Structures are given as C-alpha cells and as structure tokens.
Amino acid sequence: MLAPAMVVHGGFRCAAVMVALICCSVLCAGVATFAGEVSRKQIAVGKRLRRVNKPALKSIQSPDGDVIDCVHIAHQPAFDHPFLKNHTIQMRPAFHPEGLYDESKLVSDSGAKEQKTILQLWHQNGRCPKGTIPIRRTKGEDVLRATSVKRFGRKKHKTIPKPRFADPDLINESGHQHAIAYVEGEKYYGAKAIINVWEPKIQQFNEFSLSQLWILGGSFGEDLNSIEAGWQVSPDLYGDNNTRLFTYWTSDAYQATGCYNLLCSGFIQINSDIAMGASISPISDYGGSQYDISILVWKDPKEGNWWMQFGSDLVLGYWPSFLFSYLADSASMIEWGGEVVNSQPDGEHTATEMGSGHFPEEGFGKASYFRNIQIVDESNNLRSPKNVGTFTEQSNCYDVQNENNGDWGTFFYYGGPGRNSDC
C-alpha cells in the first residue's frame, strides 16, 4: 500500500519541479527581455551622445556643473544635416536691419542694467578660442530624462499660443499656458526685444517656464514653422533650475523637425563667446537690481538665412532658409512673452511661476517685462509694431499688460504666480 502513496508523492514532487522550471523559465525570459530593453536603450543613448557631443579642442568646467566643449566650428552638429555637407559657413550676415536703437541710452534711462559684458557662468573658468564654438556637453542622464531617446531635445506638439482661435478645452488638454503680446496681418522679416531675466520657481520636474519671442509662419496645424529664442528654466531638459539662454526651431509644428539649441542639425553657430543652453548670470532681484538681455532675429535679405544676435553686438549664427517652408519667405505672425507647462491633474493648477512670479500691475522691479519690442519689415527696417494684441488663457493665473512710452517704446509687463486663491 506504500508504493502507490510513494508514486503519488513522487508525482507531486515532479509537478513541483516542473512548475519551478516553468517559473524559472518565464522569470528568466522576463529578465532577459528587460535586460534586452535596457541594453537597446543604452545603445540608443550612446548613439545620441556621440551624435551631439563632438570632439573638443578644449573643455571648460562651469561652476554650475556644466561642461562646455570648445568644438571646431566646422565640426558642429549642424553639419550632420545632409543638405549641409558641402556648406560654406557664412561668417557674417550680408545685412543688418536698419534702425537699431542706441541701447546704451535706453539702458541708462530705463533703470535696468543690460549686461554689456554678457556673462554666462562658464565664463568664470575660461573662454573658447577663436575658430571654435562653445557647446554644452550632453550627459546620459539628460537623455534619459526625456520621454524617449527620440524625443530628447524637442518640445511637445501644440505649444504655440493661438490668440485668435483659443479653445479652453484644447488649452487645458495641451497643458501649456501663455501671457503674450503679438502682431499679425503683415509680412515680417524679424523681431527684437529686450527681455527682463528672472529665475521662476518650477513646481514639478517635468514643467518649465520660459520667456521668448516666436517668429511664425504657416497655419497652426501640422505645417507650422517657428523660430524661437529667449531664456528658460527647465529641470527636465537641463537637470537643474538655472535660467538659461535657449533657441528652438521647427518646420512641422514640433513633430519630426527641429530641437532646442544645438541638439540636432540645423542652426549654424559662428560665435565663440556664447553657449546655447548655458546659464545666464546675473538675474533680477525682486525689488532690487534688474537685468535684461537683448535678442534680435532677422532674415538676411541677400542670402535668405535667419540670423540671431544676442546683446548689442554678438551675432551668434543662423538658421539656413532651406530648413523651412513658409519662413523661407517671411513670417506671418510675431509673438513675445511667457509660457509655462501646467501638468497638474484633476483641474488643479500648477504653482510654476511665469516671469518674476508676480502679476504685471506690480510694475518695474517686481513684474517681468519685455521692452522696446520691434519687428523687421520688408525694407529691412526695425520699427515699433502696429496693432499689438495681447493674449492669455487664464489672466487670474498669468496676465499681460502692454504700454508705450518714449524710453521703452512698445513694452509690456507679464507673468504671475500660477496657483493662487483666484487661480
């Protein structure tokens, strides 16, 4: 009678072993799959780093933890573009816009301090030699913070404010909010602004706050062309809360083309002093010293490229006209102002600040501003814009108020704290 019992017991033992083997097999397969995914991601990250981090002739450690690589001007990421393989670098624009302000007079009259010797934190430890350009080195953790390796360095779709067609449902769905001034209805060949610099507080790592100008062409659908420049605080992109100079471009509404700074091929930099994406210093104090930066973007009427100038005389480089469809000719809208990401769930509003984090009515020294805003017309003349409109999705969260006077020309205060008792 013992034999059958032993057989049954042995059956249980065999079954247990079989179950264990199956579980081990499944577990091992899962581990192998996970390891394979990790390995594939590591390979993709490595490829991306090799693509954006070019061999440096000199590297400079910045006090904020950045490494700035001085890369030979002919080896920058722009020349990975197939259309730029045999490109001859244009070392200066054929034409500047006519009618630039005497900014030294404007600065002394305004009470604001524009940085005549533009400082980025990395300058404290050195400069790049002539014939090179400074590039902020991208780290593996920078790429891994992105939603995917492919999307690293890109904005999300639907980040352009649409003043004429604002739909509250779309606004809430997109998660982006703005406080801007804008012009439309003409052909525009550039824009300029002097932008007050702050360090707004960001509530969540995946949110950002920026202040910029937009040069726009096409519709607000899938074919939008945009050139953007200003300052931003973006922990997701940079890994910290520093205020940084940035640029952006797209020719298809942020879908497959364009990127921030020099994180893809496109923008051709010629300047050895300023690093795209590097920290700006100093910044404004609430009720104290105010600092602002000047940004000018314009289309060279001879070569057709879109140029960017930082400060009163630092020409940084250009976007070749072939990158764009509509902007290959001209822009149809110009916008200036602030943008934040609101990623809070269930209708709660973010406390991420825009500008100084204070409302426009607080005025100079407390609210953030854009002053001396201008457009470049078809005659390549800089002039004050006509019929300036303003737009914000929720004025009790972030607001904008435009004005005009002799010293500051057309200007506006903007921004706000985000979540408050009325928001």
Q: Which tens digits make up the pLDDT trace of 274-293?
A: 999 999 999 999 999 999 99
What pLDDT does 117 receive?
53
Give residue-wise pLDDT tens across range 173-196. Answer: 458 899 999 999 999 999 999 999
What pLDDT does 20 receive?
52
Cis bond before residue 282 (omega within 30° of 0): yes
Decide if 184 is catalytic: no
Give residue-wise pLDDT tens across range 156-170. Answer: 765 566 665 444 444
Q: Under 8 Å CB-to-CB from 350, ≥6 apart: which residues?
A: 203, 204, 207, 340, 341, 342, 343, 344, 418, 419
Mean pLDDT, residues 8-21 taken together: 48
What pLDDT does 53 receive?
94
Sequence length of the chain is 423
What pLDDT does 325 receive?
95
Residue ranges of domains in the chain:
53-415
User: Measured between alpha carbons, how far is 326 from 216 in angstroms, rounded to an integer?
Assistant: 9
The answer to whether the beta carbons of residues 115 and 295 sit under 8 Å apart is no
User: Measured between alpha carbons, how far is 216 from 227 in angstroms, rounded to an integer?
Assistant: 7
**Out of 114, 199, 335, 339, which one is annotated catalytic?**
339
pTM: 0.86
User: Measured between alpha carbons, how far is 144 from 236 in angstroms, rounded to an integer?
Assistant: 10
Mean pLDDT, residues 70-92 taken together: 93
- Short-list 247, 40, 291, CA closest to 150: 40
Q: Please state, for a pLDDT cut of 70, what percent of the chain lies above it.
A: 83
What pLDDT does 302 receive?
92
**Out of 228, 335, 353, 393, which one is annotated catalytic?**
228
How far from the centroid of its chain's Cα atoms is residue 101's Cα? Answer: 27
Q: Please state, for a pLDDT cut of 90, what percent of the chain lies above it.
A: 68
What is the DSSP annotation of 303-346?
Answer: T-PEEEEETTTEEEEEE-GGG-SGGGT-EEEEEEEEEEE---ST
Decide if 141 is catalytic: no
Residue 109 has pLDDT above 50, yes or no: no
Between β-strands 291-299 and 113-114, what pairing exists: parallel, antiparallel or unpaired? parallel
Give residue-wise pLDDT tens across range 364-414. Answer: 999 999 999 999 999 999 999 999 999 999 999 999 999 999 899 999 999
Between β-strands 368-376 and 382-383, what pairing exists: parallel, antiparallel or unpaired? antiparallel
